[in-house]
Structure 1
Amino acid sequence: METSIQQMYGFQLCEYLLIIEPTDPVQKQIRAFKQYFIRSCRYPNAIVSKGHITLMKFVQYDSYEKPIIREFQRLAAGIMPFDITLQGFGNFGHTLFVDVKSTGPIRELVTLRRRELRSLLRAEGFDPYFVTKPHVTIARNLTPTQTETIWPIWNRTRYCGSFRARQMVLLKRPVGSRAYSVVDKFNFLGLIPRFTQGKLFA
């Protein structure tokens, strides 16, 4: 009944991604890894989208978009820009990725308001996902045989890159579609939250 009411008023169920995008030099390196994967492995599993670190993934009606944007703006305003270090490669069995070594600031960003955000980001039947292992995907949906074939090579491949994270980006796509579009970008401002100021001067 709830879904039909939402549809009646033109509300659309969408998939959302909150991400951090590496800067251009690192993006070029990640793109080169994806292209190398396609050429060398000849598997159609490389992700052709821009490299990114997923922070949160959730499904919600777009009617909730404005309050979600406001919450992410408040969250970003209290975060200082921080350095992210990428080093080496890892795999989840089905996914090949560039490993993120400096996970502390990312985990803090994700967990800072996790409990408060969950109810806002959760649509009935869809629980929000919060990253536990930050990474940049190179290829996914690998079979066990494919992983066994490629991992000895990628495990020996050395790579180290870094960039300064200055913002996070919210993407969305209607459920069932493929292409994401940018909803908004949230700059890390490093401002002291108002409730903290109140405590300091109380």
Structure 2
Amino acid sequence: MSPEDRLKKKIFEFKNKFTIDYKCALASNLIPHITLSQFVLRESNEIELRNMLRLYASTIAALNVDLRGFGRFNKQTIFLKVCQQQEIIKIIVGLKSFINNDTYPSKFVPNFSSKPHVTIAKQMTERQFECAWKDFKSEFFFDGYYAKDMLLLRRNFDEERVRHEGSYKKVELFNFKIGPYYGRQTDLFDTLL
């Protein structure tokens, strides 16, 4: 799930700061998003998966996603916290119901996000992390967007070396069921700027 362009631009400002100030290689080159799942899929199953995702997405009500403050995983990753953890985890649980081990080569188990977030920088050295975390652990950030879709991405996977290769390519955008938009508290301020 990806934020709207306005919010992506704002997040990229933080990501660029990590690249420039802390020399984090995996910051500004990562497009802001919330990962729901990562998996290895046989090419022969892609059409079936896309059909199921299209059907599943049409049952998901679009939702407000608020990002508030910074969090961390170990001493390698700094991210923006997602306020609507339970709503997004419900979407992930639904994905699990039809993305199962039968669809995958037996040695590759799907990975489902257990803590939805937007990564700012990852694979940081301990020194990079300590400097950045000292500056960002209490940094104020609050913004959000109306999530109305999810995107399937693909990149090559080398089974022998057990690693992904190359960059991601867009496969298909799956639209959620659009429900009433109640707005966010910050929408009023966005119009004043």
8 Å contact kept, 1:79–1:189: yes
Q: Deviations over 1:144-174 (max 9, x none)?
A: 2322222111112100011000000000011
Identity %: 30
SS across alignment from 1:186:
strand
1:39 is aligned to 20
- 1:50 alignment partner AA: I
Does 2:179 align with 1:181?
no
Residues 37, 28 of structure 1: alpha-carbon distance in 2 compared, 3 angstrom cutoff = same
Does 2:42 align with 1:61?
yes
8 Å contact kept, 1:81–1:166: yes
Give the TM-score, by structure 1 length: 0.80
Deviation (angstroms), 1:47: 4.3
Q: Deviations over 1:39-70 (max 9, x none)?
A: 21123231413210000100112111001001
1:95 corresponds to which of 77, 86, 92:
77
Deviation (angstroms), 1:122: 2.5
1:141 corresponds to which of 123, 130, 135:
123
How many pairs were matched up? 172
Structure 1, unaligned runs of 5 or more: 1-19, 192-202
Q: Deviations over 1:88-127 (max 9, x none)?
A: 1111021111111111221110102413321354222100
- 1:35 alignment partner AA: N
Instruction: Return the alpha-carbon distance in structure 2 between the equivalents of residues 119 and 142 of structure 1.
Output: 32
2:188 is aligned to none
Instruction: Return the alpha-carbon distance in structure 2 between the equivalents of residues 171 and 121 of structure 1.
Output: 17
8 Å contact kept, 2:41–2:105: yes
- 2:33 alignment partner AA: H
Instruction: Return the alpha-carbon distance in structure 2 between the equivalents of residues 38 and 121 of structure 1.
Output: 38
- 1:156 alignment partner AA: S
8 Å contact kept, 2:12–2:28: no
Superposition pairs of residues 81-160 of structure 1, within 5 angstroms: 81-92=62-73, 93-160=75-142
Instruction: Return the alpha-carbon distance in structure 2 between the equivalents of residues 113 and 104 of structure 1.
Output: 14
Deviation (angstroms), 1:36: 1.1
Give the TM-score, by structure 2 length: 0.83
Pick the structure with greater CA Rg: 1
Instruction: Return the alpha-carbon distance in structure 2 between the equivalents of residues 164 and 121 of structure 1.
Output: 31
8 Å contact kept, 2:65–2:146: yes
Instruction: Return the alpha-carbon distance in structure 1 between the equivalents of residues 102 and 12 of structure 2.
Output: 34
Structure 2, unaligned runs of 5 or more: 158-163, 180-193
8 Å contact kept, 2:80–2:117: yes
Instruction: Return the alpha-carbon distance in structure 2 between the equivalents of residues 96 and 77 of structure 1.
Output: 32
1:30 is aligned to 11
Residues 43, 114 of structure 1: alpha-carbon distance in 2 compared, 3 angstrom cutoff = closer
8 Å contact kept, 2:24–2:121: no
Q: Deviations over 1:1-33 (max 9, x none)?
A: xxxxxxxxxxxxxxxxxxx01001110011111
1:51 corresponds to which of 29, 32, 35:
32
